[in-house]
Amino acid sequence: MKIDLEAVLATARAWLSQDPDAQTHDELAVAIDAAADGSGAAARELVERFDGRLAFGTAGLRAELGWGPLRMNRVVVTQAAAGLARFLIDTGRQRSVVIGYDGRVNSDVFARDSAEVMRGLGLDVTLLPSALPTPVLAFAVRHLDVGAGVMVTASHNPPRDNGYKVYLGGDDEGSQIVPSVDATIAAAIDVVAAGSIADLPRASDYTVATAALVDAYVAATAATVPAAALPVDQQPSVVYTAMHGVGWATARAVFAAAGFAIPTTVPEQIEPDGAFPTVSFPNPEEPGAMDLAIARGVEVGADLVIANDPDADRLALAIPDGSGSYRRLSGNEVGWLLGWRAASRASAAGVTGTLAASIVSSPALSRVAARHGLEYRDTLTGFKWVSRVPDLLFGYEEALGYLVDPQVVRDKDGISAALELLSLASSLAAEGSSIAGQLGAFAAEFGAFASGQVATRVDDLSRIGTIMAALRSSPPESLGGLAVESVTDYTDGVEGFPPSDILRYDLSGEARVIVRPSGTEPKVKVYIDTVAKSPAEAQRLVDALAADIRPRVS
């Protein structure tokens, strides 16, 4: 296809004229000059960068930093802020917003731009006082009773990324946005993007929250657990890493307020650093991401190693493996333990309610709910769905997200989950047990569950559709030696779920395989769950299923 270079240059120059960031402005200016002077590479880059714009969806915005409408930058963020303000005004919602930001590159800049533009458009705006965890922002939406909340963060994405996450107050109770609200906000952003951000009114008389707001989060979170079962000097020893994120100061305050010992830290990773110098991918799920924390655990002989991701909405846990190192628990294993604890408390208090997990998380939690006379609910992937389950007592997703008290934060919260684990470990130690012992007790009580994943990354996105179509046209009769007893295709519409590109295979022996395209990466992902009489047998079944399904999605 022939490139209309003059049209592309005109679009790029219009963008340049409204870009207030010196770095991206200068980089784009160089690219424009090079393309105008005949550089084919520069022209192709301009076409690539201006061929559309970042889609605003239920995860808000998230992309690499850089110039142009397909990257995260001050122009894109300002357009999003103005569009969100227009949405609140046009839909008659509360004309108020609270804005938070983490320690990534430009998070503070994007937050201040948002505050100035939203205030200029007439909203009551509160900016959090410093770089803080995402759960503090989610808490603030309800605590301040505002119409919306914005968190500038890319969570656990690669270092060069940033993002823009939106929460809603009022009847949405501080949960993240879901369809069709995302489309309505996106349409409002498109209207703003048709003009220049230079024409948007700005105002600097927004409110900056005081430390009292953070103190309120600390107090509310500390109150979610009972008093520590052991004195500080007798509690299990803990190593903590913030993974160069913003979790430590708030987590430390929460632990102290609840009566728990202050963990030993990983010095190289404890302060916010948007360069993430010790990890290539700041996600505790990624191989190697917890290596420094585990080495610190070995050094001090810790009973637990816990990690928050950079915005502290996720939590990872590792425990001694008996051979001088540590085993990182899966998100499902932590979810089982925290869900069992929540269900036991509810039963003891005579409380009814619902346990929930995303559909790709282990079915173990449903057994816990049934045993304790509680309701159970599967949801689509994404915590925006888990958090909206009615009468929710506890919810989780296997990607290290846990909601332990919906009355405090209506989203995953890695700090309150860490506190819950410290409380559980202390109670178990007082009884002469441990987290490892509790995993064994869970298997004895509910069955030995195991989980696994297979992922296929593609270079051509059309390959994902081809893989899913092949599975639909030729469904397997067995997998890993287990008979396929039923196939559920969620594109056909399943009660309680909107049509979704998900295939579920229920197998003999209560095993399960779920296949879906990733929502954030060019991957097909497979989730495998089994249950058996022993952990070893459950894991053997996982391995057999993985070996069988892998070539089918490659």
281, 330, 332: which is closest to 309 by C-alpha? 281
Residue 433 one-letter amino acid: S
9/3 Cα distance (integer angstroms): 11
**Which is the catalytic residue, given 96, 114, 155, 451?**
155
Interatomic CA distance for residues 432 and 39, integer angstroms = 71
Q: State how beta strands 61-64 and 96-101 pair.
A: unpaired
For the question of residue 500 being annotated catalytic, the response is no
Task: Quote the tokens at residue 70.
Answer: 């397909």
- Inter-residue contact 316 to 322 (CB < 8 Å): no
Three-state SS at 289: coil
Using DSSP, state whether 34 is helix, strand or coil.
helix
What type of residue sits at position 133?
Answer: P
Pair 522, 461: CB distance under 8 Å = yes
Distance between CA atoms of residues 174 and 146, nearest Å: 9
Q: What is the DSSP string of 445-502?
A: HH-EEEEEEEEEE-SSTHHHHHHHHHHHHS--SEETTEEEEEEEEGGG-BTTB---S-
CB 16 within 8 Å of CB 28: yes
Number of Cα atoms under 13 Å in the Cβ half of residue 442: 27
Q: Identify the burial level of 109 via C-beta atoms within 10 angstroms of its C-beta, where 0-12 means exposed, 13-18 middle and 19 or more buried.
A: middle
Q: Which H or E run includes 45?
A: helix 40-49
d(CA 56, CA 317): 32
Q: Which residues are catalytic?
A: 155
